[in-house]
Amino acid sequence: MNLEKLFWSKTKVDILKYLLFRRQWISMRALESELDWTFPAIKKQVDSLNEAWVVDVNKEGQWRSISLKPDFFEKIRDIFFFWLKQQLVELFGTYDAMIDKYYFWKRFWVDLDMDLIVIYKNAEKPQIDKIKDEINSIFRDYFIEIVYVVFMSNEEREKRYRLADRFVLQIMRSIQKS
């Protein structure tokens, strides 16, 4: 899935990401300073989203503030999280020789205090750091600044499982439920 093709505009996708993951009720001028788009491009896409009944534009006072319509918020969030998850799956696929398993948690509506758990094999610290940077880059593209990611070697996970480590057991229980 390509969000730019789905929504016909990279500017529109960036506006929706900002409203979903950063903040609501923002002015077009503030969006211009936050995003790398010109005011006319932002205004054109906000007007388009407004005509499609996706956003509310508050026209009171001297400035206009934009927010997603409440009925639309969850539906569009699900689409964007689906795409975020697909980008991460694609990233992990490129490191298939190093990454054994990965699990999506809290940010993906699973009850665990981590957003992402990555079990790796055959990876050294520089390689892990590179993967972490790429994960952070993907989340930053969605205006998500704080992400809780756990990297654990396969050996460490097995050892902690044998020792009945609470965190690893909680992961195993959550996996069995889903």
Per-residue pLDDT of 25-69, as tens digits, reads 999 889 999 998 999 999 999 999 998 899 999 887 667 799 999
Whether residues 154 and 98 fall in one domain? yes
- CA 151 → CA 30, 105, 129, distances in Å? 36, 14, 10
Residue 79 lies in a domain: no
Whether residues 144 and 173 fall in one domain? yes
Beta bridge partners of 26: 66
Position 112 pLDDT exceeds 80: no
Whether residues 109 and 171 fall in one domain? yes
pLDDT tens digits along 66-102: 999 999 898 998 889 889 999 999 999 999 999 998 8
pLDDT band at 111 (very low <50, low <70, confident <90, very high): low
Whether residues 112 and 47 fall in one domain? no
Residue 74 lies in a domain: no
For residue 164, what are the domain limits?
A: 87-177
Number of folded domains that form the chain: 2
Whether residues 58 and 98 fall in one domain? no
Whether residues 135 and 64 fall in one domain? no
- What is the reported pTM? 0.82
